[in-house]
Structure 1
Amino acid sequence: MQTLKEDLPTLFAKDISYDIYTQDIYFKDPVNKFKYKFNYRIIFWTLRFHAQLFFTQITFDLHEVYQSSEDTILAKWTVRGVLRVPWKSEIFFNGYSTYKFNSNNLIYEHIDTWDRKPVEILKQFIQKG
C-alpha cells in the first residue's frame, strides 16, 4: 500500500515502481485490457507521454488507499487537467482502482473503474474551460 501511495500521485510525471506487480499482471479499464508487466509498463509510459503532449496541467489526486478485504486494495482518485488548446478545455473524472494481490504480496490484477463513460470524458475536450 505504501508504494501505491507514493507512486500514484506522480504517475503523470515519473515512472512507477514495478517490483510490486507479478509478471503476468492483468489490467483493465474502460478502454484497455491486457496482461503482462511489459504491457503494464507501456500503459504508464503512454499516460506520461500523452499527459506532456496534450495537457498544460494534469494531476492525479489520490484521495485514499486502503485494504478492503484480505487480498484487495482500493485506491480512490480524481484526474484533473487542462488541455493544450486555445480554449483551455478542462478534463475531470473520478475513479477507483482495485488491486488484487497474492500470498507473496505481489499485485496480479489492477482494474480501474471510472465515474463516467470514456465518450463523456472526451466531450470535455471540446468544451471551453
Structure 2
Amino acid sequence: MPDQLQVAEVIQVLKDDLPTLFQKDISYDIYTKNIYFQDPVNKFKYKFNYRIIFWTLRFHARLFFTEIYFDLHEVEQSATDTILAKWTVRGVLRVPWKAKIFFNGYSTYKFNSDGLIYEHIDTWDRKPGEILKQFWQVGY
C-alpha cells in the first residue's frame, strides 16, 4: 500500500481538481493508464476514455448551462485502499424557463500500491431519468 503522504497528495489533487471540473481539465497523473470508470449512465476503461468523459462534461456544461457547479463537500480516505468524495452538482439550464438541475452523489476511488487510482465509481442520489425531469421544470 502507498504511504500516507502519497494518499494525502492524491486527496489534495482531488480537492483541487473536482470543484472546477466543469471549467478546466483535471490532472491525470494520479490515475493508472487502465482506469475503470462507472456511473449510472457510463462504464468504460482506459485513461483516454477517462479524459474524454471530462472533456464531454466541460463541453456540455458550456453548451447547456448558464451556470453549473460541482460542490465538493468532503474528500477522505474511507478504507486502506479507498478514497471517498461527496459532492453536489447544481446548475441553471440555458432554456427560457431557466430550469435548475440538482443532485448529490459520491465518488469512490480505489488506489493501488503505487498510490494511483485504478477505479472511479460514481453513485448518484437519484436515477438519471429523475435528473432529466428537472430540465422541464420551471426555475425559481
How many angstroms does 1:87 deviate by? 0.1
Deviations 1:27-61 (A, max 9, x none): 00000000000000000000000000000000000
C-alpha root-mean-square deviation of aligned residues, in Å?
A: 0.2
Larger Rg, first or second structure (1 or 2): 2
How many angstroms does 1:98 deviate by? 0.1
Distance in 1 (alpha carbons) for counterparts of 2:133 and 2:79? 36
Deviations 1:94-124 (A, max 9, x none): 0000000000000000000000000000000
Distance in 2 (alpha carbons) for counterparts of 1:6 and 1:43? 18
One-letter amino acid matched to 2:44? F
Which consecutive residues of structure 2, in runs of 5 or more, have no partner in the other structure? Answer: 1-10
Which consecutive residues of structure 1, in runs of 5 or more, have no partner in the other structure? Answer: none
- Residue number in structure 2 paired with 1:128: 138
Q: Which runs of 4+ in 1 moved over 6 A?
A: none
- Residue number in structure 2 paired with 1:51: 61
- Residue number in structure 1 paired with 2:6: none
Find the partner of 1:9 among 19, 23, 26. Answer: 19
**Identical residues among aligned pairs (%):** 84
Q: TM-score, normalised by structure 1?
A: 1.00
Find the partner of 1:75 among 54, 67, 85. Answer: 85
* Partner SS for 1:77: strand
Distance in 1 (alpha carbons) for counterparts of 2:48 and 2:132? 27
Find the partner of 1:99 among 100, 103, 109. Answer: 109
Q: TM-score, normalised by structure 2?
A: 0.92
- Residue number in structure 2 paired with 1:115: 125
Instruction: Kindly tell me the number of residue pairs found equivalent between the two proteins.
Output: 129
Distance in 1 (alpha carbons) for counterparts of 2:13 and 2:30? 8
